[in-house]
Amino acid sequence: MITRRSCLRGVAGFGLLPLAGGALAGQLEEPLGDSVRSALSSAIANAAPPVPEFPSTEARLAYLRWLQAMSTRLMRRKTSFNERKEFLQTVWYESRRAGLDTSLVLGLIQVESAFRKFAVSVAGARGYMQVMPFWSRLIGDGDPGKLFHMQTNLRFGCVILRHYIDRERGDLFMALGRYNGSRGRAPYPDAVFAAQRHWQWRDLPPPAGERS
């Protein structure tokens, strides 16, 4: 069984140290009002394929440049190009669907699971975004095994993070702490913010004469 501690050993490869204290924690089960439960259930219900849609050719080309850059950065973690493409396309789709910065989600995944699909923490959190199984009961179909499915895990993780950001009124520091079960403590949010910098990307489109 892969624990979060073993997964976090890989974080050092990106220049981060494993977290102390809150590293092995996870989301805490809290009472949800009926309206919140309904909204979260609705948010994770649509399992449409994560196929990007673009308003213009330039937007599509910008996405392809991002995909190429991120694929190169992820190569050490995922050697298969097709696996990297599917993963990054899904992260891009689910993060934007939830109104999240894609680089923040990638930074969180790096810290939580070191990009390991089947990571399991000692607290029982599962998958890329280390989603606690109780979420399947609260807002899903009750089957925590599905949290190892890539899109399902990323869908749950992004929806949960969005929920915490809304609860904290946009305060990312507090929301990340809540996601990790270490609300108000700095090590986990600081690690995610540090990891996020590795995945930030500034688009530099090619000169006009080289555009297709």
3-state secondary structure 100-143: CCHHHHHHHHHHHHCCCCCCECCCCCECCCCECCHHHHHHCCCC
List all residues 6 or more positions away from 48 whose beta carbon is below 8 Å from its beta carbon.
none
Instruction: Note the pLDDT tens digit of each residue in 47-84.
Output: 666 788 899 999 999 999 999 999 999 999 999 999 99
User: What tokens appear for 128 in the block?
Assistant: 């890329």
DSSP secondary structure, 13-61, as one string: GGT-PPPSSGGG--PPP----HHHHHHHHHHHH---------SSHHHHH
Residue 209 is predicted with a pLDDT of 57
Q: Which domains does the chain have, with CATH numbers?
A: 4-11+55-199 (1.10.530.10)
The pLDDT of residue 122 is above 50: yes
The pLDDT of residue 132 is above 90: yes
Mean pLDDT of 156-167: 97
Instruction: Note the pLDDT tens digit of each residue in 174-212.
Output: 999 999 999 999 999 999 999 999 999 998 766 665 554
Mean pLDDT of 139-166: 95
Name residue 120's beta-bridge partners. Answer: 126
Q: In this predicted structure, which of 1-15, 26-40, 115-129, 161-175 has the lowest mean pLDDT? A: 1-15
Mean pLDDT of 17-38: 67
Residue 80 is predicted with a pLDDT of 96
Residue 39 is predicted with a pLDDT of 85
Question: Would the pTM count as exceeding 0.75?
Answer: yes
Query: With contact defined as beta carbons under 8 Å apart, do 151 and 50 qualify?
Result: yes
